[in-house]
Amino acid sequence: MYVIKLPDGTLRVPHSVLLEPAEDVGEAGGAEGDAENGSAGGATGGAEGGATGGLIADAYVEIGPGDPDYDRLLPEALTEQELEERRRAWRDGDAELQRRFEEWKAEQPDVELDPDAGQAGPGPA
């Protein structure tokens, strides 16, 4: 999850980033926004785990320059274009990694599961 700087200067922030460390993630809804500090709803995820579970998805909240967290989060914010460039670089890197894996896999001997032992063993002779 990334902090995204929108063209109008607002930041789209994962709701979990705004939580205090002692706050319960299960209380985080994110869809209503916060009228007191000017943040809007902007939920894109929404399903979050309770006190005993982990975070399943995260909602984004939009905050403006008047928000207390704005100055803290601005330096790490990416524009939507920068985020897309990162994703493209990851995909390109993934293609190279996939190619190398396929080469390695082709060099490996065939292995079949032995149904009686439930373990991998050499293929038929």
| Residue whose pair of structure tokens reads 């930041």 in the numeric block | 11
| pLDDT value of residue 112 | 74
Per-residue pLDDT, 1: 72
| Rounded distance between C-alpha atoms, residue 33 and residue 5, angstroms | 18
- Cα 72–77–81 angle (5° rounding)? 170
Q: What is the pLDDT of residue 94?
A: 86
Q: How far apart are CA 31 and CA 73, in angstroms?
A: 20
DSSP 52: T
List per-residue pLDDT tens for the chain, 125 residues long.
Answer: 789 999 999 999 888 777 765 544 444 343 334 433 334 444 444 444 445 556 566 688 899 999 999 999 999 999 999 999 998 888 888 888 888 999 998 998 877 766 776 555 555 55
pLDDT at residue number 39: 40
At residue 120, the pLDDT reads 57
